[in-house]
């Protein structure tokens, strides 16, 4: 877009612009090339004309704004001690100092010459010192120092007005930024690197604070102390003396440079130790580490809990599998037991059927023969017993067959260990004997010993004879024969077969299992004793009750007799 015409003027179009612009490549020459090289070296993109305009404006503004400050002690300065003077103050640039441009230094020197030149003062009637003893020499030395860039740099390094103090830690407890910020800004002038980072404030980020302290801990200072050299090598008379002077000067500069770097390091250390942001960052870092540590501990705890849960799950699976195996084995055992019970019942039924098919005549014949043999053995046993007891005190008391059976029954009823066993047996026989003969304990003991000496076959004959007598008294008709006397006889209306030890145990267990108030008690008891009916179980129960009562009565009689004797 073209700029519009000023007020009172008109815009005239002479020719139309071309539709397409053409890009042309040009190269600077002459003073424009020099300006291009200068811009490239300082990384500036402004044009040469802009730089020239800016330079002229700055110079003009400098001339207009330059105001010299008269140094009140100028006329009292010692020309011989010019090195210790403040050159900026001598030229009247005390307010600008190191910021003064070369043009301003030149203009200040020109003004000072016009005012303080010896010839001008002499013409005004002022008395002038001879040679270099006049104070004008201080003005000349000041200009020589500040107009030379190297000498001016050396003087700026030891600027007498520069504040080298370092704040202590105690000074910045409450106002850290107000104390240290000006100090860092003041010392930033010595940095070789531009764009010196600022101290910042409480809201500065960690990266900004870290960059600030990294810069100052690695501070690259251009400050050097050659201006304070004690001797000038140009005044040396020979080369060796110049070398010696140069060596002394280097040592002094190195020492001052070291002190300067220690000062900067102390400044940074004091700032770092007092910086509240560092404390905040450390607390945040500590809290972060604690959070990470807690997170790790929590993760480890969860991992251990997960492992424990998996282990418990595995143990539970193993337990369930084991219980399943045990249950299967138990079911298998029950199944096998049921099969065995079924087989036993089937065998028993077959055996009963076999027994009922036997011929009654053969059974009766066999019973008759056994009866005769038993009677013969019994007679022989009786004769032997009478012979063995004929010489004893009780020899006059004959033992009948009933008394022998009663003695055997009493011995079985009152086993060894019963209190006053033989007296109880004698009383039991006296109560139940039908012969009316009174037996003493010693008679019972003697007869029991004789029976123990008998042949086992004779004992069996006595038992069989007693069993036959029981059948006759109760009208029992034998039906079958078997291997043992306890399983030999079965009848249709009752069962007079003696009870075996196994059957006796089953009956006692059933009586305990099914108490008196159990419905259909005797049917359940009979079912628990294979081969026995309800009537058999009830009859056996009554016999046991009678035997227990008789046993108790005999024991009580013995006790009463003992008490009577006392």
For 92, the token pair is 């009247």
Q: Measured in whole angstroms, how far is the alpha carbon of residue 61 from the centre of its chain? A: 77
pLDDT tens by residue, 81-132: 888 888 898 899 988 888 889 999 999 999 999 988 888 888 888 877 676 6
Q: How many Cα atoms sit within 13 Å of 192 on the Cβ side?
A: 7
What percent of the chain shows pLDDT beyond 70? 75
Ordered alpha helix ranges (H), 75-131:
87-90, 102-116, 118-123
Q: Report the distance separating Cα 95 and Cα 503, nearest Å.
A: 137
Question: For residues 109 and 147, what is the distance between their CA atoms, to the nearest angstrom?
Answer: 10
CATH number attached to the domain at 74-157: 1.10.287.110
pTM: 0.43
Distance CA 189, CA 193 (A): 10
* Res. 288 pLDDT band, cuts 50 70 90: very high
pLDDT reported for residue 391: 43
Where on the phi/psi map is residue 436: left (φ > 0), alpha (ψ -120 to 50), or beta? Answer: left
Residue 221 three-state SS? strand
The closest of 254, 244, 264, 253 to 225, measured between CA atoms, is 253
Q: Specify the DSSP class assigned to residue 191.
A: B
Query: What are the two backbone dihedrals, phi and then psi, of residue 221, each rounded to the nearest 5 degrees?
Result: -100, 135
Closest CA to 47 of 35, 56, 55, 59: 35
Q: What is the distance between the alpha carbons of residues 215 and 196, in angstroms, rounded to a whole number?
A: 8
**What pLDDT is attached to residue 360?**
63
89 token code pair: 């103050």
Q: Which of 56-65, 328-337, 361-370, 496-505 has the lowest mean pLDDT?
A: 56-65
- pLDDT (mean) for 407-423: 78
**287 CB-side CA count, 13 A:** 6
Residue 320: which H helix or E strand, with range?
helix 276-356
| Spatial distance between the Cα atoms of 483 and 330, rounded to a whole number of angstroms | 36
Can you give the pLDDT at residue 253?
A: 87
Give the containing element (helix H, strand E) for 323: helix 276-356
pLDDT tier, 13 (very low <50, low <70, confident <90, very high otherwise)? low
pLDDT tens readout for residues 214-265: 999 999 998 988 888 776 766 667 888 888 888 888 888 899 899 999 999 9
- pLDDT above 90 as % of the chain: 26
Averaged pLDDT score across all residues of the chain: 78
pLDDT digits (tens, 9 = 90+) for 139-154: 999 999 999 999 999 8
Residue among 464, 297, 263 at smallest CA distance from 372 = 464
User: Is residue 167 pLDDT above 60, yes or no?
Assistant: yes
For the domain made up of 501-564, give the CATH fold.
Arc Repressor Mutant, subunit A (1.10.10)
Q: Where are the domains of the chain?
A: 74-157, 176-274, 401-467, 501-564
Asked whether residue 14 carries a pLDDT value surpassing 70, the answer given is no
Task: Dump pLDDT digits (tens) for 348-400.
Answer: 888 888 777 765 666 567 667 777 876 776 677 666 655 554 544 344 357 88
Q: Per-residue DSSP letters for 371-396?
A: HHHHHHHHHHHHHHHHHHTTTSGGGG
CA distances from 66 to 69, 142, 144 (A): 10, 18, 20
What does the block give as tokens for 491?
């009848």
Phi and psi at residue 191, to the nearest 5° = -75, 135
| pLDDT, position 486 | 35
């Amino acid at each position: 877009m073209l700029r519009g015409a000023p007020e009172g003027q008109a815009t005239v179009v002479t020719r139309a612009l071309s539709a397409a612009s053409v890009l042309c490549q040009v190269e600077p020459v002459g003073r424009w090339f020099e300006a291009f090289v200068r811009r490239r070296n300082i990384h500036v993109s402004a044009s040469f004309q802009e730089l020239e305009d800016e330079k002229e404006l700055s110079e003009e503004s400098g001339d207009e704004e330059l105001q010299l400050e008269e140094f009140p002690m100028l006329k009292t300065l010692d020309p011989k001690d010019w090195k210790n003077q403040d050159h900026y103050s001598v030229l009247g640039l005390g307010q600008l100092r190191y910021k003064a441009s070369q043009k301003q230094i030149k203009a200040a020197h020109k003004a000072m010459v016009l005012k303080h030149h010896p010839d001008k003062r002499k013409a005004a009637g002022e008395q002038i010192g001879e040679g270099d003893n006049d104070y004008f020499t201080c003005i000349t030395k000041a200009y020589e120092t500040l107009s030379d860039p190297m000498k001016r740099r050396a003087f700026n390094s030891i600027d007498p007005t520069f504040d080298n103090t370092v704040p202590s830690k105690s000074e910045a407890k409450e106002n850290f930024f107000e104390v240290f910020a000006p100090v860092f800004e003041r010392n930033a002038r010595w940095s070789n690197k531009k764009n010196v980072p600022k101290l910042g404030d409480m809201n500065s980020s960690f990266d900004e604070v870290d960059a600030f302290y990294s810069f100052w801990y690695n501070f690259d200072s251009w400050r050097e102390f050659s201006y304070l050299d004690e001797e000038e090598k140009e005044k040396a008379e020979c080369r060796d003396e110049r070398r010696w002077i140069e060596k002394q000067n280097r040592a002094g500069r190195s020492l001052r440079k070291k002190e300067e770097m220690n000062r900067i390091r102390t400044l940074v250390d004091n700032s770092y130790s007092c910086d509240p942001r560092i404390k905040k960052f450390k607390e945040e870092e500590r809290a972060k580490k604690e959070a990470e540590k807690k997170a790790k501990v929590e993760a480890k705890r969860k991992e251990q809990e997960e492992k424990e849960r998996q282990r418990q799950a595995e143990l539970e699976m193993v337990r369930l599998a084991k219980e399943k195996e045990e249950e299967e084995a138990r079911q298998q055992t029950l199944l096998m037991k049921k099969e065995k019970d079924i087989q036993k019942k089937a065998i028993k039924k077959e055996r009963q059927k076999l027994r009922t098919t036997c011929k009654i005549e053969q059974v009766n014949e066999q019973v008759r023969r056994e009866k005769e043999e038993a009677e013969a053995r019994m007679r022989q046993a009786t004769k032997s017993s009478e012979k063995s007891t004929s010489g004893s005190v009780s020899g006059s008391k004959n033992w009948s067959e009933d008394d022998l059976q009663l003695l055997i029954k009493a011995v079985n009823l009152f086993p060894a260990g019963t209190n006053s066993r033989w007296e109880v047996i004698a009383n039991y026989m006296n109560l139940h004997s039908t012969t009316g003969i009174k037996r003493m304990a010693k008679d019972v003991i003697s007869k029991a010993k004789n029976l123990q000496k008998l042949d086992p076959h004779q004992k069996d004959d006595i038992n069989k004879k007693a069993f036959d007598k029981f059948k006759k008294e109760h009208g029992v008709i034998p039906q079958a024969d078997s291997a043992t006397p306890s399983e030999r006889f079965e009848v249709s209306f009752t069962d007079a077969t003696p009870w075996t030890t196994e059957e006796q145990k089953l009956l006692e267990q059933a009586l305990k299992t099914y108490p008196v108030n159990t419905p259909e008690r005797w049917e359940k008891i009979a079912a628990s004793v294979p081969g026995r009916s309800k009537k058999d179980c009830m009859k056996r129960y009554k016999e046991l009750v009678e035997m227990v009562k008789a046993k108790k009565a005999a024991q009580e009689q013995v006790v009463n007799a003992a008490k009577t004797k006392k």
